[in-house]
Amino acid sequence: MWKRNMHRLDATEVFLKNATRQEEAWEDHVLSKSRRILHKFLYEDTHVVPACIAASVVIASSLPAMAAAAAAATH
């Protein structure tokens, strides 16, 4: 259905470093790569959501709003 590339985050270097260099290794090998992957997913990729999923999300998200509007109108 959705075609996504798998990304591998390897934290081995973090565990091989001494305590003083672990934070730097974490930022270099895991955190920065995670941020790039997330940024690409959120802002650069084109997302195609199947119509059946999109419709169910719209319906499910509108029910609480309709209930709140009805409650506000009656009180």
Q: What share of the chain is helix, strand, coil (3-state, %, to 5)?
A: 75, 0, 25
CA distance 49 to 46: 10
Whether the per-residue pLDDT at 18 is higher than 80: the answer is yes
Of 3, 12, 1, nearest in space to 54 by CA:
1
φ/ψ of residue 65, rounded to 5:
-65, -40
Mean pLDDT, range 43-57, rounded to an integer: 65
Whether the per-residue pLDDT at 55 is higher than 60: the answer is no
